[in-house]
Amino acid sequence: MKTKFWIILTACIVAVCLGLTLWLYRSGEAAKTVTVISEGEVLYTLPLSVDQTIAVTSKRGTNTVTVKDGKVAVTQADCPDGHCMARGFCDRGAQIVCLPNRLVLQFSSDPAIDGISQ
């Protein structure tokens, strides 16, 4: 009886995790802009339609953000783990985050509407 309970509980947890993963990475509308936030301060709002490369330097480190072919990626980072670079080029989905350097790339489909004005 106890074994059956743990099997059902584990199956439910796995189902919830899969559902959340699909919801976060669902194929929705591609973003039109990306907001570059460093240490809580908005530095740039970049259109994904224009290819460009910018360097974001803070007291914690430097990241290179590249916009190419309607997608954005962190192509260079001096952080120790490099998880932000592993995400690759994206145009939707969850934010790209570099925790050691406190950098966030946030996608937006409508640049005129933000979370406060909705």
Q: Which CATH number covers residue 42?
A: 2.60.320.10
Residue 111 has pLDDT above 80, yes or no: no
Task: Identify the pLDDT of residue 117.
Answer: 43
Give CA–CA dist 11/9, Å, rounded: 5
Quote the number of domains for the chain: 1
Please check the confidence at residue 56 and state whether its pLDDT lies above 70.
yes
| HEC assignment per residue over the chain | CHHHHHHHHHHHHHHHHHHHHHHHCCCCCCCCEEEEEECCEEEEEEECCCCEEEEEECCCCEEEEEEECCEEEEEEECCCCCHHHHCCCECCCCCEEECCCCEEEEEECCCCCCCCCC
Range of the domain at 41: 33-108
Residue 97 located in a structural domain:
yes
Whether the full predicted model's pTM is greater than 0.75, yes or no, is no
Q: Report if residue 20 sits inside a domain.
A: no
Residue 17 lies in a domain: no
